[in-house]
Amino acid sequence: MLTRADLAKYPFLNEATDYVKSLGLSIEDIRPEEYGPVLDRAEKRLEEALSKGRITANIADENTEILSFPVSNLILSLTGEERAKRRYALAEAKRAYELLKQESPDKLELIASSAFQWKLRRTNMQFGRRLYDFSIGLTDYLRNAIHLKEPRWKLSNRVLDHGFVLATRDEIARLLEEEVRSKVLDRASRPTASVNVPPFLGQRIEHVRNLTVKYLGTPVHYELPRVPVPEAMPPCVRNLISLLDSGKNVQHMGRFTLAAFLVNIGAEQEEIIRVFKPASDFSERMTRYQVEHIAGQRGGRTKYTCPMCTTLKTHGVCYKPDEICATIRNPLSYYKTQARTLTRGKKAVN
């Protein structure tokens, strides 16, 4: 059975939604005089997600923790900030993972089957040094593992048992994290029924909008980075910038390609970091470290070049190749060819 403490830990569960519904509260009822701590916690959830990408598990006051979750979702959906929604969903999912990995196998099984209808079985099998506590249905596994980058999640690296994938307790918690991210994002993205927003909530919505700009930057709407000839960028690179700008997930190969491309065409380091800023999991420290590494300012001091088009095709990074793509083998060659043509054209006009 799920307890009130469980609902405070996992307020995205249907049982938590039912509990909130049973209180029969409307938006006007959540007044600061009575529900100040709930409003504060809801805003804090969003502030932590936007500023640090993490949300603390503050479960001492169970009622406040349960109620603040739908209020956070409401504030977020009223801001209309897609980038903030993705960042928030990821932060809630990470919070859940930290708690889930401490749960007993029974509790994990209950959450996976009741909240997400997973096909999950208890096992006790050992292969090599690994002890597997669970086997998970293939569809449930693939739906979530597809977002995970490490090689260990590839199906070819897994042990299969009659259509089920063996998994450890921690792996089940990690796969649940992905499921929670999708669920929270779906919930925060649901259109809000037209409501008269009370003034006390209006101020909080405005505050979250300001925080979004503070931590995620001003929406750039696909503004190209300031590089010598921005119009000369190939379709794959433009697409990567566009995906990041809309807060969508870009896999490792895409991120590496973008950073290596920008480093090699002479973009400023700050400019490269700005391009990555809208990513839902953006960390300035990590991005700076990786860009410096690619630029050869760290580690073995090797400056990396951009991967070849054939490699990018294999990894699904190539995007709508055009007629220039047919004449080159690397996005950097595309840029050089196009920059030459464009600059020549400008000189001719001048």
Shorter beta-carbon distance to ligand SF4: residue 189 or 337? 337
Identity of the residue, 234 or 278, whose beta carbon is nearer to ligand SF4 in the bound complex: 234
- Nearest distance from C-beta of residue 344 to ligand SF4, angstroms: 20
> Closest CB to ligand SF4 among 33 and 323?
323
Q: How far is 28 from 38, CA to CA, in rounded Å?
A: 13
By C-beta, is 55 or 306 nearer to ligand SF4? 306
Binding site for ligand SF4 (CB under 6 A): 234-236, 309, 312, 318-319, 321, 325, 331, 334
Q: CB of residue 325 vs ligand SF4: minimum separation in angstroms?
A: 3
Shortest Cβ 275–ligand SF4 spacing (Å)? 16
Report the nearest approach of ligand SF4 to the CB of residue 233 (Å). 9
Give min distance, CB of 234 to ligand SF4, in A.
Answer: 4
CB of 147 to ligand SF4, least distance (A): 22
Q: Quote the least distance from Cβ 9 to ligand SF4, whole Å.
A: 44
* Residue nearer to ligand SF4 on the CB measure, 58 or 337: 337
Give the nearer residue to ligand SF4 in terms of CB position, either 216 or 309: 309
Taking the least distance from each CB to ligand SF4, the nearer of 175 and 318 is 318
